[in-house]
Amino acid sequence: MSGFWARTMLSAYRFAGAAAYPLVGPYVAWRTSQGKEDRNRRRERYGVAGRARPDGPVIWIHAASVGETIAVVPLVESILDYGVNIVLTTGTVTSAQVADERLGDRIIHQYVPLDLKPAVSRFLDHWQPDLAIIAESEIWPMTILELGARRVPQVLVNGRLSDRSFKSWKKRANIAEALFENLAHVVAQSDVDGERFLALGARPVTVSGNLKVDTSPPPVDERVLATLRRQIGARPTWAAISTHDGEEVVAAEVHATLHKRHHGLLTIVVPRHPDRAEALAAQISGMGLKVARRSKGDRITADTDILLGDTIGEMGLYLRLTEIAFVGRSLTSEGGQNPLEPAMLDTAVLAGRNVQNFREAYQRLLDSGGAKLVRDRDMLAGAVNFLLTNEVARHEMMAAGVATVDEMRGALARTLKSLEPYIQPLVVKSRLKGANGR
């Protein structure tokens, strides 16, 4: 299909509304997150650069949100070792904070432009990237077509297609092919993802495994960790992390069921979106439970029932306070959240059955005994009770999770090998420019 017809058909879908896109990125993300924008940098959403372009080759890397940003950090660091400039774009304020904390001024951070031709063109005119690397499932029609028109190689890394997205793209097979033929390479997370990209017209496709496995465990402030451990003392704990609407109440109900059986039980609830904390605290308090909010600096006292982890960037803290973690977006919502961070931090993993977005990771953990899926609140309460009661079984799950993560490592090396044909010419170009500059 010609570029003209691809643009015509995509414009029709754009006119029909954002819901017509199976995997649209920045436009919908921006529209649904207004109010959480960095107002001082809003112009970057329209492609207006906040920084000057550095001399020499530039690689544009995009990671939509916090999870994707954390996943690409080791990849970014490996590419930086080659001496090539990197512009890293993200879609949220929190992911920008993660980029700043972990990469600092070694990269140039910008907010990703809206997937509209004026914004994309303005962005590309300024940065003139020599290579574009996109993480996971951010498929933006206009951006892909504009990069293709400028003959900028585009590589999708850690690529995945959920059941829903694949089904949606299959209904628009011609559009999918017109877009994916612009990708120079797709590095997929799993064999299933690779087969799906091939079916939609992407060539070539290789399988790397999940880059999130090759990340370091989430960091922690050791002084804060020591303080909270002193406050908790010998109390039994469990956590419900990355929770979505409804799952916090489920966790509170599980606590109410178990706290008499396990004296002093402390439940740690970490909502995926901390901006919901005010309402959650009121809701849980209304159930007769005492809540300590981390964002308020509330002390954990002997009668604290729930520690509400309503902060950003402290998952490493919360996971180090327990040996049992329920991973959310899996009971009352669909798709699941990443189970690899709790697994690599010596935690027995529990989740609901709706974990399609992390199917391979969960399957590996289930096969090894590092994770268990639960059907509902009562089954979750039973699983938490069992693990609190049976130390041997709990430690076996914890050890199995750590071992599984170690076995899954290697995605970074495989991804770098796939990227080598695109990066090495830029390395040579950068060195030549440096030599000529001297």
Exposed/middle/buried for 28, CB within 10 Å: 0-12, 13-18, 19+?
middle
CA distances from 351 to 186, 253, 273, 358, 377 (A): 30, 16, 18, 11, 11
In the residue annotation, 68 being an active-site residue is answered as: yes
Site of tokens 């981390």: 294
Token representation of residue 81: 């070792």
**Per the residue annotation, which of 68, 248, 314, 341 is the catalytic one?**
68
Q: From residue 336, how far is each of 15, 72, 331, 368 by CA, in Å?
A: 31, 20, 8, 19
Cβ-Cβ contacts under 8 Å for 305 (sequence gap 6 or more): 252, 255, 259, 265, 266, 267, 289, 290, 291
Q: CA geometry: angle at 436 spanning 425 and 132, to 5°?
A: 30
266 with 351: CB under 8 angstroms?
Answer: no
> Rounded distance, CA 343 to CA 323, Å?
10
Residues 6+ apart with CB under 8 A from 33: 91, 92
d(CA 155, CA 165): 19
Distance CA(66)–CA(99), nearest Å, equals 9
How far apart CA 422 and CA 66 sit, in angstroms, is 26
- Structural contact between residues 57 and 430, judged by C-beta atoms closer than 8 angstroms: yes
Q: Between vectors from CA 102 to CA 97 and to CA 108, what angle results, nearest 5°?
A: 70
CA angle 5, 9, 11 (to 5 degrees): 115
Sheet-wide strand order for 237-243: 291-293, 306-308, 266-271, 237-243, 324-327, 348-351, 371-373
Evaluated on CA atoms 314, 341, 90, 425, the torsion sign reads: positive
Cα separations (Å) of 289 from 268, 283, 292, 332?
13, 9, 10, 22
8-state DSSP, 369:
T
Catalytic residues: 68
